[in-house]
Amino acid sequence: MAPAEIRQVILDILKKIAPDEDLSSLDDSVPFREQMELDSMDFLDIVMELRKAYRVQIPEEDYHHLGTMDSTVTYLTPILKDA
């Protein structure tokens, strides 16, 4: 899966988790939590959606890689390369 496709997957997950958020102005380098009203449960929902859709296991010690869109895409690119 290409980085642009991964970005779209994350956007789709964010739309599902926070349907009232305007994602059109999302800055990929700024943490999600600074741009959106996401709490820790919402964050876990992102992880669970990735697990459900792509059977991706993200260890808790790697959660810090999922703070921004850029870091999330960078982290997931090698994991989802064959998805």
Model pLDDT, residue 59: 95
Phi-psi region of 59 (alpha: psi -120 to 50; beta: other; left: phi over 0): beta
- 69 burial (CB, 10 Å; 0-12 / 13-18 / 19+) is buried
Model pLDDT, residue 79: 94
The phi and psi torsions of 34 (rounded to 5 degrees) equal -80, -20
Model pLDDT, residue 66: 95
User: Which architecture characterizes domain 3-79 according to CATH?
Assistant: Orthogonal Bundle (1.10)
Q: Using one digit for the tens of pLDDT, what is the confidence trace for 10-66?
A: 999 999 999 999 999 999 999 999 999 899 999 999 999 999 999 999 999 999 999
Query: Rg of the chain's alpha carbons, rounded to an integer?
Result: 12
Model pLDDT, residue 82: 86
